[in-house]
Amino acid sequence: MTDATLLGARASTAPGLTLELVYLARLRDALGSAGETLTLPRPAEPTVDWLLAELRHRGGAFAQELAPGRAFRVAVDHAMARGDTPLHDGAEVALLPPVTGG
């Protein structure tokens, strides 16, 4: 079964949701990309938690790096987000590891 089939099985009949994903620092290296434009079938209530679950379903580095308990943050449209933060069509979603400074 393909990712598209899996995603479609959990989605409503609403039009797709297009998101601009940005992967920063360690995540950019681990995921092999600085980002992507991703269109997914729209769920009834698209949230950050929903998106992370969809990305984990890709397996591999996505499942490992975005697993619960791993250290990373999410920003939606340049504002720090929580799991229940809603997503809208065209949102920029950045995934970033914690930042330390000295």
For residue 75, give the amino acid letter.
Answer: A
What pLDDT does 25 receive? 93
- Tell the residue number behind the tokens 């079964």, with chain if given: 1
Mean pLDDT by 10 residues, the chain (102 residues): 45 78 96 96 96 97 96 97 98 89 61
- Full set of structural domains in the chain with CATH: 3-96 (3.10.20.30)
CA distance 26 to 15: 33
Terminal C-alpha separation, the chain: 48
Its pTM surpasses 0.85: no
Is-contact 43 10, C-beta < 8 A? yes
